[in-house]
């Protein structure tokens, strides 16, 4: 029985009947699928054929759904590569985090050191904001210069202002990368200038981009600005997709001889957002063509569904030795799943809950796991948590439940 397709009143009735039986027999609730929220669209009546992903000019690449973080298509997603100026997305994230924590401010006046000034000079592949040596520049303008103009000098000046030195700032970059789960990344500088032991992966860049969009949306919005002028020089954003597709609103380009042409792109159409990462393309046009092809593929052939809402009980198993006889379990965040168009009816959910639950439990404490599969293959696992505090009952309540559990051989406390 696939409960994703059963009427809600049928599911509710079945749950009530089984609940009464379970309590009478003093047995735990089985691992039955919970019911989806009422506003989930019905499965497609006709199977929609989904072709393989488009050809991509790149050494490694990833297509990620923003809402779920699921990888929809990829090639060598976890192979370490040289990131070039894609590095500045990590620099941007650290700067945004430091601003949010009050450590630095958009109004700060930042001194342009010789190190930062030289980085914007000759041999930087044109990645400069044309900052003047020993000048004072508002942090906000440096942020714009780094994101829009890809200024190496802006990136280094921001790093030095934030952490005292670029080397110390790189330690911050690595600490934040670890927190985000970027397990195959290591940063040595803030600009992406080629050095040994400075690497990332297409998958890690997608994780970082998703975090930047979610955690600091106002800062992320800077990457959609098409041009920025500083020191009397106006420069355009190097992400050519901003001119080609109005749904594209970021994120960053990169290029060195070793890295090839790289592009971190994201677009939003309706309620759906996709992230496409292309690393090591053969030329500027190829990276843009490949990224937009991936984005179009994601929007056309995948759909995201909300399966369960946070704050609503998905199960109410028997609770022993508590003030209450049942323990409502649910999820802390809405459960979203992205599937190929027409594959919604292939989803199945089960709950893995211990057979005997004995009070006390704290609100938010994990008690079990919600498993979602598609055609028997795992899609995601979500913690099932206690929705309320569940303190122990009084002496006689605990005594009575202990007797019942002893008769059934289930007393674990």
CA distance 166 to 164: 7
Neighbour-count burial for 220-230, b at 16+ CB within 10 Å, e otherwise: bebbbeeebeb
Supply the residues annotated as catalytic: 85, 88, 150
- What are residue 251's DSSP bridge partners? 265
Query: Is 367 in contact with 29 (CB distance < 8 Å)?
Result: no
Query: Which architecture does CATH list for 8-37+309-407?
Result: Sandwich (2.60)
CATH code at 60-304: 3.40.710.10
Q: What percent of the chain has pLDDT over 70?
A: 86
- What are residue 384's DSSP bridge partners? 368
Average pLDDT estimate for 185-211: 97
Q: What is the mean pLDDT of the chain?
A: 88
pLDDT interval class at 3 (50, 70, 90): very low
Cis bond leading into 251, ω under 30°? yes
Question: What was the pLDDT predicted at 49?
Answer: 81
CA distance 102 to 223: 22
The sign of the torsion formed by the CA atoms of 189, 191, 196, 198 equals: positive
Question: What was the pLDDT predicted at 9?
Answer: 33
Query: Is 134 in contact with 237 (CB distance < 8 Å)?
Result: no
More confident residue, 27 or 90: 90
For residue 209, what are its two tokens?
């981009």
pLDDT tens-digit series, residues 304-322:
999 999 999 999 999 999 9
pLDDT tens-digit series, residues 92-121:
999 999 999 999 999 999 999 999 999 876
Average pLDDT estimate for 235-257: 96
Q: What is the biggest distance separating any 2 CA atoms in the chain, rounded to whole angstroms?
A: 85
Query: Is 307 in contact with 36 (CB distance < 8 Å)?
Result: yes
Q: Per mean pLDDT, which range of 45-54, 82-91, 265-274, 361-370 is the poorest?
A: 45-54
pTM score above 0.85: no
Average pLDDT estimate for 336-356: 93
- Helix or strand or coil: residue 306? strand
Q: Is the pLDDT of residue 30 over 50?
A: no
Q: Is the pLDDT of residue 27 over 50?
A: no
pLDDT tens-digit series, residues 119-168:
876 444 558 999 999 999 999 999 999 999 999 999 999 999 999 999 99
Q: Is the pLDDT of residue 1 over 70?
A: no
Neighbour-count burial for 40-73, b at 16+ CB within 10 Å, e otherwise: eeebeeeeeeeeebeebbbbbbbbbbbbbbbbbb
- Helix or strand or coil: residue 37? coil
Contacts of 38 (CB under 8 A, 6+ apart): 8
Q: Tokens 């005997």 sit at which residue?
A: 356
CA distance 348 to 336: 13
Q: CA of 322: how far to CAs of 125, 139, 242, 412, in Å?
A: 68, 56, 58, 14
| Side-by-side strand order, sheet with 260-269 | 71-75, 60-65, 272-281, 260-269, 248-256
Q: What is the DSSP letter of 165?
A: S
Question: What was the pLDDT predicted at 14?
Answer: 33
The sign of the torsion formed by the CA atoms of 17, 20, 23, 26 equals: negative
List the alpha helices (DSSP H) in 131-267: 139-148, 152-163, 166-180, 202-215, 217-220, 241-244
Neighbour-count burial for 241-260, b at 16+ CB within 10 Å, e otherwise: bbeebebbbbbbbbbbeebb
Q: Is the pLDDT of residue 18 over 60?
A: no
Q: Where are the domains of the chain?
A: 8-37+309-407, 60-304
More confident residue, 360 or 409: 360
Q: Is the pLDDT of residue 16 over 50?
A: no
């Amino acid at each position: 029985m696939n409960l994703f397709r059963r009427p809600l009143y049928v599911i509710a009735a079945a749950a009530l009947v089984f609940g009464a039986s379970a309590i009478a027999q003093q047995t735990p609730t089985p691992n039955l699928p919970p019911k989806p929220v009422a506003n989930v669209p019905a499965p497609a009546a006709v199977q929609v054929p989904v072709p393989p992903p488009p050809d991509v000019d790149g050494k490694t690449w990833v297509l990620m759904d923003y809402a779920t973080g699921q990888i929809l298509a990829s090639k060598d997603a976890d192979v370490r590569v040289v990131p070039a100026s894609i590095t500045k997305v990590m620099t941007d994230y650290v700067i945004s985090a430091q601003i949010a924590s009050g450590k630095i401010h958009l109004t700060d006046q930042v001194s342009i050191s010789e190190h930062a000034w030289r980085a914007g000079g000759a041999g930087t592949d044109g990645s400069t904001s044309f900052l003047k040596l020993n000048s004072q520049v508002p942090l906000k303008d440096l942020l714009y210069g780094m994101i829009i103009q890809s200024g190496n000098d802006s990136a280094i000046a921001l790093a030095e202002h934030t952490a005292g030195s670029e080397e110390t700032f790189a330690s911050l970059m690595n600490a934040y990368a670890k927190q985000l789960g970027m397990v195959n990344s290591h940063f040595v500088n803030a600009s992406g200038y080629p050095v040994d032991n400075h690497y990332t992966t297409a998958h890690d860049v997608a994780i970082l981009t998703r975090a930047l969009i979610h955690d600091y949306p106002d800062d992320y919005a800077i990457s959609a600005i098409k041009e920025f002028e500083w020191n009397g020089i106006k420069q355009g954003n190097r992400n050519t997709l901003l001119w080609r597709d109005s749904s594209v609103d970021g994120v960053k380009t990169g290029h060195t001889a070793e890295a090839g042409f790289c592009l971190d792109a994201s677009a939003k159409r309706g309620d759906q957002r996709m992230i496409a990462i292309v690393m090591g393309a053969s030329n500027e046009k190829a990276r843009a063509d490949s990224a937009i092809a991936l984005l179009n593929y994601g929007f056309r052939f995948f759909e995201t569904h909300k399966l369960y809402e946070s704050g609503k009980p998905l199960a109410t198993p028997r609770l022993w030795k508590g003030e209450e006889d049942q323990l409502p379990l649910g999820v802390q965040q809405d459960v979203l799943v992205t599937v190929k168009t027409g594959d919604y009816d292939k989803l199945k959910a089960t709950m893995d809950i211990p057979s005997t639950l004995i009070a006390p439990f704290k609100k938010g404490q994990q008690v079990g796991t919600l498993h979602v599969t598609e055609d028997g293959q795992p899609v995601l696992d979500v913690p099932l948590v206690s929705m309320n505090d569940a303190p122990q009952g009084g002496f006689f309540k605990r005594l009575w439940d202990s007797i019942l559990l002893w008769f059934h051989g289930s007393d674990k406390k």
